[in-house]
Chain A
C-alpha cells in the first residue's frame, strides 16, 4: 500500500523524457547568474566587471542574515551586471559572464577532506553554506539554514524523490543515473543533524526508481524507501509529511514542528557534490520539453544558462510557441523573456503552444460543482475564497483560511468553468496578509 493524502488531482503526466538520459550542455556563450535565487537577502557581487572568473568561484555573497552565496558556473570574464525585474516583482541583478569554454576550476573547489565521523555538525553546515546550496524542489530555502534550524529538533529525515509536476523528469533521471549521490548526501545530512532514521519517499508508480535505490539502502535498516501515491501534489512538503506520518502541519509551521525535516533528492545530491568534490551548486538538471520543442531532453546545465540556448540545443522549435514556462506546468512561471537564465530551482523549461492555452471563449463562470473543494490538498473551499475576494470581502477570505493556500494550482486545473481559482486564492492570501500588516502597524 502506498501512503497517501486527501485531495489532489491526476493530470496527464506528459513525462516524455522519462527514458532520456541526462546530457551535459555547457556551451552557452554567456551565462547570467542571478543574485537572488533563494529565500532571504539578495547577494552582493564580490567580483567586478572585467574580472576573470573561474568555475566555482564565489561571485556573490550575503554578508549576514539569511541568504545563500552564488558562484560562477563557467570560467571566463564578467562582462556586465544587469538590472532585471524579478519574477515576483522588485529589482534583482544578474552577473553576466562570457564563457571561455575552458571550465577552469577555481582553487577553492577542494574536497571536504574529513570523514563523516571526524567532522562536526558545524563544519558540515558551513561547507553546505559555502557551496550555496538551496532547496532544489521549488522553495529555494537556503539548505544550511534549514539544517541549522532542524538540528536537535528532528529525528527523521525525508528525502523527497517525488516529482508530481507533469513533464518534469530531472529528479527521476537523477535517481536512475546517480542514486549513490542521493544516498551519500542523505548520510551527510543525517550526520550533520545527528539523527538515525531516514525515509526515501518515491512515487508508487516508479518501480524503476525503487529498484535503483533499494540495493544502496538494503532491507530493514533505518533508511527505508516509502511508496507514496502518484498524484499531484504528492511532492508538496506538507502533503508528503502527512502521507508518511498522518500528522497535519498547520499553516505557518514547518515539518520541524513534528520532528521531521524534508530535503529534495537533488538537494541531497548537491550536498554530496559539495563535500566530496568541493563543487558548489553551479549546475542542475533541467527537463526541456513542451509541444514546441523538437527534441525534448534532460540537460545538466550551468546555472545562468539562458533558456533560449537550451531550447536551441534541443533542436529548436517545431510549433508556434505561446508560452515559455520555467518549472512544471502546475506551479511554474510563464516567462516574458526567452533569455531568462536557469536558476537553482529551475527543474524544467517548457515551451507550450496554443494547444495548452485554456481558452473556452466563454467567460469564466463557477458552476458550483465542488471539484475544487475535493481537489484542494489543504482542505479549503477555493470557490468560496475566490468569490469572497472578488466581492472584496477580505475578512471572509481570512476566515476561510486563504492564508493556508499552498498555491499548488489543483483548483484552477480541475475547474470546468475555467475560473482562475488559484490566482484568486493567491490574491485573497495577499490581501489578508496586507490587512494583517496594516492592522499590526496601527496597533504598534
Chain B
C-alpha cells in the first residue's frame, strides 16, 4: 500500500514513511545536550568581543590587524598540523580561534606583524599539537606562547602605546608600581581601559562583561576567577609594596597588567585546569600567589602569565588530591 502511495504522491501530498528494514542501534543515552565543544568555544569568542572591540577602539587599526593575524595564523597552523600528522581536521571546533584570539589580545598593538605568527605557531603546534591536541595539552597554549614571545623578543612585547598621547610608553603603570610609585593617572582610566597596555587587557569593564557572560552561560565555573583574583587581592592589600597605601596599591595592582585578563578568561582553559571545583580553587589560589610573588620579587613587572603556566604543571597533582568522595563512602549505611 505504502509503495503505491509513494509512487502516486505528488509534491504537495503528505509523504508516507515506512519502517526501515535496518534500524540504528546505539547505547543510551539517545539525547544529547546541545552544548558541544564548538558551542562552548563560540561562547568564549563572544565573551572576548567586548575586550577586543575596546582594544580596537583605543589602539586603532593596528590592534585589529594584530588580532586578526593571530587568529588566522592559529587556525592555519592547526589545519596544517592536523593535515601533516594525518589527523582529522578539527578546526571547526573553534578551539584554534579561541587560542589565537587570547594570544592576539595579550599582545601590544605596536608589535611587528610577524610576532603573532610566531606566537601562533608556538601555541598551536608546540604547546598544543605536539602534546596530542585539544584536551591533552599540559600548558595553556596562548599563555605559553605569550611567555615564549616575551622571553625571545622582550623588546617587541613591551611596545605599549599610551592611547592618550599615541606614543610608545616605556613607563607602564606596572613598572611604576614595581618602583613603589602609585601611577599619576586616575584609577578611572585604568578601570575603563584608557592606558598603555596589551590590546585586550586594558579594560577591566570589558573583561568583567566577558566573565559575567561566561558564568551566565555556564561555560566556566566561578572557582578560578574568584580564587585567582581573591588571593592576589588579599596579598596586595595586606602586604603592599608601598606602606600605608594598602587600598590604593591593591586597586592599581589589580587594574593594571594581565591579572584580570588571565583570571577572568585566559586561565579558565579546560584542558589545563583541574576538573573539580575544589581543584579549581587550589589552582586559582596558586595562580594568584605566584603572580604576586613574581611581581614583588621577580625580575619582571608582570607575573600572571607565569602563575598560570606554573600552576598548569601542578594540575595532575591537584587532581590526584581532589578526587571527590564517592557516593556512599562518607555517610553510607553501616557495614
> Across the interface, do B36 and A412 meet the contact criterion of CB distance under 8 Å?
no
Once the chains are docked, how many angstroms separate the CA of A358 from the CA of B24?
Answer: 12
Let me know if A316 is at the binding interface, CB within 8 A: yes
Once the chains are docked, how many angstroms separate the CA of A166 from the CA of B28?
Answer: 13
Residues in A199-214 with C-beta less than 8 Å from chain B: none
Once the chains are docked, how many angstroms separate the CA of A400 from the CA of B331?
Answer: 18
Let me know if A1 is at the binding interface, CB within 8 A: no
Which of chain A's residues has its CB closest to B326's CB?
A401
> Across the interface, do B333 and A257 meet the contact criterion of CB distance under 8 Å?
yes
Once the chains are docked, how many angstroms separate the CA of A416 from the CA of B323?
Answer: 22
Once the chains are docked, how many angstroms separate the CA of A373 from the CA of B30?
Answer: 20
> Across the interface, do B28 and A333 meet the contact criterion of CB distance under 8 Å?
yes
Given contacts A247-B333, A413-B32, A416-B40, contact A323 B324 (CB under 8 A): no
> Across the interface, do A250 and B36 meet the contact criterion of CB distance under 8 Å?
no
Let me know if B88 is at the binding interface, CB within 8 A: yes
Binary CB contact string for chain A from 220 to 236 against chain B (1 if under 8 A, 0 otherwise): 00000000000000000
Let me know if A292 is at the binding interface, CB within 8 A: yes
Which of chain A's residues has its CB closest to B35's CB?
A416
- Quick one: which of A253, A358, A379 contacts B333, CB cutoff 8 A? A253
Q: Which residues of B contact A308 (CB under 8 A)?
A: 19
Let me know if A433 is at the binding interface, CB within 8 A: no
Once the chains are docked, how many angstroms separate the CA of A277 from the CA of B271?
Answer: 61
Which of chain A's residues has its CB closest to B324's CB?
A379
Let me know if B4 is at the binding interface, CB within 8 A: no
Once the chains are docked, how many angstroms separate the CA of A362 from the CA of B35?
Answer: 14
Let me know if A409 is at the binding interface, CB within 8 A: yes
Q: Which residues of A contact B18 (CB under 8 A)?
A: 317
Once the chains are docked, how many angstroms separate the CA of A367 from the CA of B37?
Answer: 8
> Across the interface, do B25 and A336 meet the contact criterion of CB distance under 8 Å?
yes
Let me know if A392 is at the binding interface, CB within 8 A: no
> Across the interface, do B275 and A373 meet the contact criterion of CB distance under 8 Å?
yes
- Quick one: which of B29, B324, B326 contacts A422, CB cutoff 8 A? B29
Given contacts A321-B20, A368-B271, A379-B325, contact A350 B30 (CB under 8 A): yes
Once the chains are docked, how many angstroms separate the CA of A412 from the CA of B30?
Answer: 9
> Across the interface, do B331 and A416 meet the contact criterion of CB distance under 8 Å?
no
> Across the interface, do B270 and A11 meet the contact criterion of CB distance under 8 Å?
no
Let me know if B165 is at the binding interface, CB within 8 A: no
Let me know if B84 is at the binding interface, CB within 8 A: no
Given contacts A248-B331, A250-B329, A250-B333, contact A11 B31 (CB under 8 A): yes
Once the chains are docked, how many angstroms separate the CA of A415 from the CA of B135?
Answer: 13
Which of chain A's residues has its CB closest to B280's CB?
A370
Once the chains are docked, how many angstroms separate the CA of A293 from the CA of B90?
Answer: 36
- Quick one: which of B36, B324, B325, B333 contacts A416, CB cutoff 8 A? B36
Given contacts A250-B329, A253-B333, A334-B23, contact A360 B324 (CB under 8 A): no
- Quick one: which of A11, A338, A356, A363 contacts B33, CB cutoff 8 A? A11
> Across the interface, do B333 and A366 meet the contact criterion of CB distance under 8 Å?
no
Let me know if B10 is at the binding interface, CB within 8 A: no
Let me know if B244 is at the binding interface, CB within 8 A: no
- Quick one: which of A332, A362, A367 contacts B88, CB cutoff 8 A? A362
Q: Report the minimum CB–CB distance from B18 to chain A (whole Å).
A: 7
> Across the interface, do A366 and B135 meet the contact criterion of CB distance under 8 Å?
yes
Q: Which residues of A contact B20 (CB under 8 A)?
A: 320-321
Q: Report the minimum CB–CB distance from B217 to chain A (whole Å).
A: 12
Given contacts A247-B331, A368-B275, contact A423 B324 (CB under 8 A): no
Which of chain B's residues has its CB closest to A370's CB?
B275
> Across the interface, do A367 and B25 meet the contact criterion of CB distance under 8 Å?
no
Once the chains are docked, how many angstroms separate the CA of A363 from the CA of B92?
Answer: 12
Residues in B11-31 with C-beta less than 8 Å from chain A: 17-20, 23-31
Q: Report the minimum CB–CB distance from B37 to chain A (whole Å).
A: 5
Q: Report the minimum CB–CB distance from A181 to chain B (whole Å).
A: 30
> Across the interface, do B31 and A378 meet the contact criterion of CB distance under 8 Å?
no
Residues in A113-149 with C-beta less than 8 Å from chain B: none
> Across the interface, do B333 and A238 meet the contact criterion of CB distance under 8 Å?
no
Let me know if A258 is at the binding interface, CB within 8 A: yes
> Across the interface, do A292 and B323 meet the contact criterion of CB distance under 8 Å?
no
Once the chains are docked, how many angstroms separate the CA of A323 from the CA of B22?
Answer: 9
**Interface residues of A, dominant DSSP:** loop
Which of chain B's residues has its CB closest to A372's CB?
B275
Once the chains are docked, how many angstroms separate the CA of A253 from the CA of B327?
Answer: 12
- Quick one: which of B23, B326, B327, B330 contacts A336, CB cutoff 8 A? B23
Q: Report the minimum CB–CB distance from B171 to chain A (whole Å).
A: 41
Q: Report the minimum CB–CB distance from A260 to chain B (whole Å).
A: 10
> Across the interface, do A360 and B36 meet the contact criterion of CB distance under 8 Å?
yes
Residues in B112-150 with C-beta less than 8 Å from chain A: 133-135
Binary CB contact string for chain B from 295 to 333 against chain A (1 if under 8 A, 0 otherwise): 000000000000000000000000000011111111111
> Across the interface, do B24 and A334 meet the contact criterion of CB distance under 8 Å?
yes
Let me know if B212 is at the binding interface, CB within 8 A: no
Binary CB contact string for chain B from 257 to 274 against chain A (1 if under 8 A, 0 otherwise): 000000000000011011
Let me know if B276 is at the binding interface, CB within 8 A: yes
Most buried by A among B32, B39, B92, B133: B32
Q: Which residues of B contact A251 (CB under 8 A)?
A: 326, 328
Once the chains are docked, how many angstroms separate the CA of A359 from the CA of B212?
Answer: 31
Let me know if A319 is at the binding interface, CB within 8 A: yes
Q: Report the minimum CB–CB distance from A153 to chain B (whole Å).
A: 11
Once the chains are docked, how many angstroms separate the CA of A189 from the CA of B63?
Answer: 74
Let me know if A28 is at the binding interface, CB within 8 A: no
> Across the interface, do B275 and A381 meet the contact criterion of CB distance under 8 Å?
yes
Let me know if B162 is at the binding interface, CB within 8 A: no
Let me know if A179 is at the binding interface, CB within 8 A: no
Once the chains are docked, how many angstroms separate the CA of A379 from the CA of B275?
Answer: 13
Q: Which residues of B contact A11 (CB under 8 A)?
A: 31, 33
Let me know if A435 is at the binding interface, CB within 8 A: no
- Quick one: which of A324, A373, A414, A422 contacts B28, CB cutoff 8 A? A422
Once the chains are docked, how many angstroms separate the CA of A380 from the CA of B35?
Answer: 21
Q: Which residues of B contact A409 (CB under 8 A)?
A: 28-29
> Across the interface, do B24 and A367 meet the contact criterion of CB distance under 8 Å?
no
Most buried by A among B23, B31, B325, B334: B31
Which of chain B's residues has its CB closest to A413's CB?
B29
Once the chains are docked, how many angstroms separate the CA of A322 from the CA of B32?
Answer: 15
Interface residues of A (CB under 8 A from B): 9, 11-12, 14, 166, 238, 242, 246-251, 253, 257-258, 292, 308, 311, 316-325, 327, 329-338, 350, 352, 356-358, 360, 362-363, 365-370, 373-374, 377-381, 383, 400-401, 404, 407, 409, 412-418, 420, 422-423, 426
10 residue pairs A–B, Cβ–Cβ below 8 Å: A249-B333, A250-B332, A308-B19, A320-B17, A334-B24, A334-B30, A362-B93, A369-B270, A380-B327, A426-B27
20 further contact pairs, Cβ within 8 A, besides A331-B29, A357-B24, A404-B326: A12-B31, A250-B327, A317-B18, A317-B19, A319-B17, A320-B20, A329-B31, A331-B28, A334-B26, A362-B90, A362-B92, A367-B40, A367-B134, A370-B276, A373-B324, A379-B326, A413-B31, A417-B36, A417-B135, A426-B27
Interface residues of B (CB under 8 A from A): 17-20, 23-33, 35-40, 88, 90, 92-93, 95, 133-135, 270-271, 273-277, 323-334
3 residue pairs, one from A and one from B, having the closest CB atoms: A250-B328, A370-B275, A409-B29
